[in-house]
Every structure is written in C-alpha cells, then in structure tokens.
A and B are shown apart, each in its own frame.
Chain A
C-alpha cells in the first residue's frame, strides 16, 4: 500500500529549477534508497516532503491525505520525521533530553496540554532505550558539543525515531562518517524498517545504499532518472553516465 505519493512536483529558487516534474512513491514498510550526484535536488525533495519548502506545482499525499499545504508540525503529527543532513542538536540540552523532547512530542501538541504535563520520566526512559538502540547510551548525559559527529548523527536518528514516524526521512546520515561507522549505521537503518515504518534514505554513499536498499530511486539535475531494484540500478549505464558523464 502506498504511504507517500508525490506527483509532478516542481520547485525553483530565483528562476533556477531545483526540482522539476518529480513523481515518487514510497510504499508501506519499504526501504527506498534515493541517490543522485551533487545538485540533483535530493535535499530539496526532503524539504518538500517535510513542508520546509512549498512546491510551486504538484502534490504531496501522505497516508491518503493531501499534505501539500500543511505546516511542518502537522506533518510530524501525521507520522513524518526527518533526520537532517546538517545535524542540529539542541546545544542547551543533554543528548538524552535531545531525544526525550522528541519522545514527548505528544505532550506538546498544544501549549495548554504542554502546560498541564510535567512528568518527563516516561519520555526520558524511552529516550534512553532509543540511545541504547542506536548504540550511544554511554553518551546520554553528555552535551552534544562534547561529542564527535558520529554520536550526533546517531542521536539525530534516535530523535527522529522517538517521534514514532510512519515514514522516516534520512538525509545523508552516513556523510562525514568513516567506513566502519557508516557500515554500522547502515546496518542499523535496515533494522528500522518494520511493519509500521518505512524509510526513505538519501545518500551519497552508493555502496552502502545498494547494499541495504532493495529499491533505489535516482534523480539527476532535479529530474527523475530511474527507479528500480538496486541490482538493475547498479548495472544501469544511465547511473554511470549520471555520475561520471557520458564517456
């Protein structure tokens, strides 16, 4: 069953097309890889899905509801979550509280409800379990500024999982990590996909994407190029041309 259905979206910034006539679907409990060379419009697509950028044309349907004009917080409440490429920890909070605040997002659905709720123990318990799950429970009480990028990237994944999303968008989670770290995080991403959760993984690391994603979508210069199984994509001359030019 289709979870996310993007139809014919286009966005331009100052007359330059960032995304042009893109259609893309993500099915229930699917791990879909999303690759493309620099300037392909991958992050713009993520931002369109999250509502940070409004498409000038086309529609975004999530769980059967047209969310094209919906604000970010509404989309999150519907079950979308994003782990951003440039990780943005809250620097005044510990790693645990960075995840706990997302784990308690239902308490903050309205200011009044947030005012009436004071108990943070449940959210912190769940946050600790998630930090354990992504393998950084040892850094729970540390401040983000004291930790290397690998920890922050994992915390960002834990934080987006804390929102209990139906569709998790991961924007280059492996960027900046060494090979061992990237391999371990990629394995973790596979385990995120289950009966109630799908993952759309944007990555530059084609090796890891082809290893873990059964299906891959390729976008070049803001336009869709090809979507197929990873074996076919990796064997496709179109992909080689997109990355290396027409040789």
Chain B
C-alpha cells in the first residue's frame, strides 16, 4: 500500500508542478526554462519552516508567497524580452537559483537539507494534502480558462501586440500569470520536499525544468487534461523503469523534440484529431 501511496503522491505533485508551468507557458504563451527554480524556492522555504516546527499545511503558504514574489521579479523580464530570449532568460534564472543555493550554508550548501520532518498522519497525510492542493489548482486552472482572465491570456499567447489593441494591459496580465504559476510551483516544491524528505541544489536544476516542460509539451501546451495525464505518466516512469531515471535528460529531451516535430499539440491534440475524425460525417 505504501508503494501506491508513494506513486500517487509523486503523481499529484508532478501534476500540480506541470499545471503551474502550463498556466505561464500554455495559457499565457510565456516560455519558461527555469521553472524548477520556483519549485526549489517552495521546497527550501517549506523545509526550513517545518524544521522550525511549522506544520506543512501552514508552511505551504509562505512557500507559495516566496516563489510567487520571485516569480513576479522574473515576470518583469518577460515584459522586456519575448519568445526565445525569454526562454534563455528564464533558463539563466534556473542556473542562478542553483548557483546561489549551493553557496548558502544556511540552506545546507552542496549537501542540502535532510531529515525534513514527516507530515502529520505520515505518508497518507502527505498524499491527502498533495491531492487537495492538486485538485484546488486544477479547479483554479479551469476557472481561469472560463473567465475573462483566461480569454485575455489566450489573446496574449496568440499575439500580444493585437491584445494591446483590445485595451489589455499586457504587462499586468503576464505578470499575474507568472505570479500564479510560480506560486503553484512553490506549493508543489513544498510538498516534494516532504515527500522525498531530502533536498539539495541538484534536485531543482535544469533537468527538472526540462522534465516539467516535457510534461507540458507532451500533454499539449495549454491543455489542462493533457498536461495532467502527461505529468502523471512521465512522473511515474522513473519509478517503474530504472533506465528512465538514468537517462532522464535524453528521454525527456527526445520526447520534447518528437512531440514538437510530429504532434505539436501533444496528447490533447492527437486525441482531439482522432475524435474529430471519428465523429466527422
């Protein structure tokens, strides 16, 4: 039973993490290659607080706020640079995070933070918390998609110059996408730290950013269901198949390449095309 709980916890956290990137990249069209940094910020903040005696449920709030605040700063970069330049800038942020954490003794430096306390009610308790956070984030994503905020994000993602001509303050909307997305990553990071109970700078490096991007791209950029399915499958692959864990960057990199080349709309695009073919007269 504990194995299933571990798998389900990994899945829930990965879905939350992937959907948080999907909000920035999929909904609002802002490519981020450094999303693991915010996952890391949430993980460190939550781990430090629970080690100081906080409950994880409470510690997730500062984890989200800190990640979201740093996300707002990075989002400022998105106001000045676009597309590939934004991808490179966010990638730089990811490296910067790892570089800074490595040199901070207070954060455990290279060794990281170990003996992170377990959650009340143990692993089932963590699973419950992870599933609640995931479910709330899914509801938030669905709501945003239906709201005028989602409509505005869609137009910015399509063509931000045209979006401006509808009276949309593109900068504010892009910043908000970064804040919500990075805060979501912060919560996912806090849960991850208490799932693994050990974190180090390498847990949040470029490989993690590519992994989460692969989940979004393979699932179908912008699709809530597609990204959730891709995150669930891709997060459990390394647990089932050892070689996936050994060749993570190669496998996820290949998945990104193959999806972009042959099915740019990912799983959701393939399912939609099959559905239309099946139901067309």
B165 near A72 with CB under 8 A, answer yes
> Bound state CA distance, A71 and B161, in angstroms?
12
Task: Check if A232 is an interface residue, CB within 8 A of chain B.
Answer: no
- Measured between beta carbons, the chain A residues less than 8 angstroms from B168 are 73, 105, 108
Encoded as 1 (CB less than 8 Å from any A CB) or 0, chain B from 144 to 188 comes to: 101111011011011101101111111011001000000000000
Q: A105-B167, A105-B168 known; A88 and B162 CB under 8 Å?
A: yes
Question: Chain B residues with Cβ under 8 A from A111's Cβ?
Answer: 149, 152, 169, 172-173, 176
Query: With contacts A73-B170, A76-B167 known, is A91 near B158, CB below 8 A?
Result: yes
Of chain A, the residue at the smallest CB distance from B167 is A76
The CA of A121 and the CA of B165, in the complex, are separated in Å by 22
Q: Are A108 and B148 in contact (CB under 8 A)?
A: yes
Please name all residues of chain A whose beta carbon is closer than 8 Å to the beta carbon of B169 when the two chains form the complex.
71, 73, 110-111
Q: Kindly list chain A residues whose C-beta atoms are within 8 Å of the C-beta of B159.
A: 88, 90
CB-contacts of A209-223 with B (<8 A): none
Q: Could you say which of B148, B158, B173 contacts A90, with CB atoms under 8 Å apart?
A: B158
In the assembled complex, the CB of B48 is this many whole angstroms from the nearest CB of chain A, namely: 31
B158 and A92 within 8 A (CB): yes
Interface contact A108-B158, CB-CB below 8 Å: no
Within the complex, what minimum Cβ distance (angstroms) separates B52 from chain A? 33
Interface check A82, CB cutoff 8 A: yes
Q: How far is the CB of B223 from chain A (nearest CB, A)?
A: 12
Listed A/B pairs (17) with beta-carbon separation below 8 Å: A76-B167, A82-B165, A88-B161, A105-B167, A105-B168, A107-B148, A109-B167, A110-B169, A111-B149, A111-B176, A114-B147, A114-B149, A115-B148, A115-B149, A118-B146, A118-B148, A160-B165
9 A-B pairs with least C-beta separation: A76-B167, A107-B148, A114-B148, A114-B149, A72-B164, A90-B158, A105-B167, A115-B149, A111-B176
* Interface of B toward A, CB cutoff 8 Å: 143-144, 146-149, 151-152, 154-155, 157-159, 161-162, 164-170, 172-173, 176
